[in-house]
């Protein structure tokens, strides 16, 4: 089935979004989305609710997750789509990543307290739907609430990034591990928002080549963080490397996200879409006269 408005990157309260899976599904449907995926960070707990809400609204659904990985000292994100949520290898890998976040958050709070900002851990927890996934985003929301910063952007200029108070490095998965967990579960690995990493051309090409060698099959070409020129550049990169293209808003919050669910430009017509690889893994919404399989 051709899809006119697929949005395959979004976050709920199960990670660092501000809306529940059901609220996200409603927002996606209002935006005209016909194929949707919830891709919470390192977490699958919202998948059943997201699929049920999507189907109730007539949207087809792909299982999704966004895995934090490290490459050459940089944190990158790999989206997984269309996998078996119950697959043991994927479940165990994500559990290990979630388990490491708590100690990191405590150290972030200690650094912020040393900089004169007390109560950051407790403050961040007020924004956390899932304490196992406390992240920099939750600390940033606390700093804005306290009036220490006026925006999320200012937070990351003054705090929580390398060389600033509150920055604590994290041991994420390797690219091979993240891709391996996704593919073990029968899914497709997508390199998320590549322009965000700020890599020079040589390192970016090395990352993409390594990603492909590990079994990655797609790149996020059209997304909330890409300009029109960047989307064109990554479409060409995808064609050069034989990758499929993906499309996702990376929506987190009505107040914070650059792009709303369903409002992205289309993928370039010459680029094969990632959902073409996943036809058998799409969970189709029940419709009169349509085969539910």
Q: State residue 132's pLDDT score.
A: 74
**Domain annotation for the chain: domains and CATH numbers:** 6-96+174-278 (3.20.20.140), 101-158 (1.10.150.650)
Q: State residue 292's pLDDT score.
A: 46
Q: State residue 290's pLDDT score.
A: 53
Q: State residue 99's pLDDT score.
A: 81
Q: State residue 80's pLDDT score.
A: 98
Whole-angstrom distance, CA of residue 210 vs CA of residue 175 = 8
Distance (Å) of CA 87 to CA 42, 46, 67, 201:
14, 16, 15, 36
- How do the pLDDT tens digits run along the chain, 293 residues long? 689 999 999 999 999 999 999 999 999 999 999 999 999 999 999 999 999 999 999 999 999 999 999 999 899 999 999 999 999 999 999 998 888 778 888 999 999 999 999 999 999 988 887 777 788 889 999 999 999 999 999 999 999 988 999 998 877 899 999 999 999 999 999 999 999 999 999 999 999 999 999 999 999 999 999 999 999 999 999 999 999 999 999 999 998 898 999 999 999 999 999 999 999 999 999 986 555 44
Q: State residue 291's pLDDT score.
A: 52
Q: Are 150 and 119 in contact, with CB atoms under 8 Å apart?
A: no
* DSSP per-residue string spanning the chain: ---SSEE--B--TTTT-SS-HHHHHHHHHHTT-SEE----BT--TTHHHHHHHHHHTT-EE--EEEEEEEETTEEEEEEEES--TT-HHHHHHHHHHHHTHHHHHHHHHHHHHHTT-TTHHHHHHTT-SSGGG--HHHHHHHHHHTTS-SSHHHHHHHSSSTTSTT------EEHHHHHHHHHHTT-EEEE--GGGG---HHHHHHHHHHHHHTT--EEEEEETT--HHHHHHHHHHHHHHTPEEEEE--B--TTT-SS-TT-SPPPPTTSPBGGGGGTTT-BPPP-TTS---
Q: State residue 86's pLDDT score.
A: 97
Q: State residue 255's pLDDT score.
A: 87
* Cα distance from N-terminal residue to C-terminal residue, the chain: 13
CB count, 10 Å around CB of 151?
A: 12
């Amino acid at each position: 089935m051709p899809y006119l408005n697929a949005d395959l990157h979004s976050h709920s309260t199960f990670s660092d979004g501000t809306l529940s899976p059901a609220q996200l599904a409603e927002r996606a449907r209002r935006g005209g989305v016909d194929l949707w995926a919830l891709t919470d960070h390192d977490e699958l707990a919202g998948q059943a609710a997201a699929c049920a809400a999507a189907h109730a609204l007539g949207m087809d659904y792909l299982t999704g997750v966004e895995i934090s990985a490290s490459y050459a000292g940089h944190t990158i994100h790999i989206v997984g789509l269309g996998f078996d949520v119950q697959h043991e290898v994927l479940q165990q890998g994500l559990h290990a990543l979630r388990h490491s976040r708590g100690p990191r958050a405590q150290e972030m709070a200690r650094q912020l307290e040393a900089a004169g900002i007390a109560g950051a851990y407790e403050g961040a927890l007020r924004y956390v739907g899932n304490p196992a996934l406390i992240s920099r985003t939750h600390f940033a929301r606390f700093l804005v609430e306290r009036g220490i910063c006026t925006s999320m952007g200012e937070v990351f200029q003054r705090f929580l990034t390398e060389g600033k108070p509150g920055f604590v490095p994290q041991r994420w998965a390797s690219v091979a591990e993240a891709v391996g967990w996704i593919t073990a579960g029968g899914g497709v690995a997508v390199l998320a928002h590549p322009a965000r990493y700020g890599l020079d051309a040589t390192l970016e090409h090395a990352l993409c080549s390594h990603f492909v060698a590990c079994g990655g099959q797609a790149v996020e070409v059209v997304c909330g963080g890409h300009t029109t020129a960047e989307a064109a550049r990554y479409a060409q990169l995808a064609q050069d490397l034989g990758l499929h293209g993906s499309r996702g808003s990376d929506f987190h919050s009505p107040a914070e996200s650059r792009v709303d669910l369903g409002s992205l430009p289309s993928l370039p017509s010459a680029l094969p879409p990632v959902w073409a690889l996943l036809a058998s893994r799409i969970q189709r919404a029940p419709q009169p006269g349509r085969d539910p399989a």
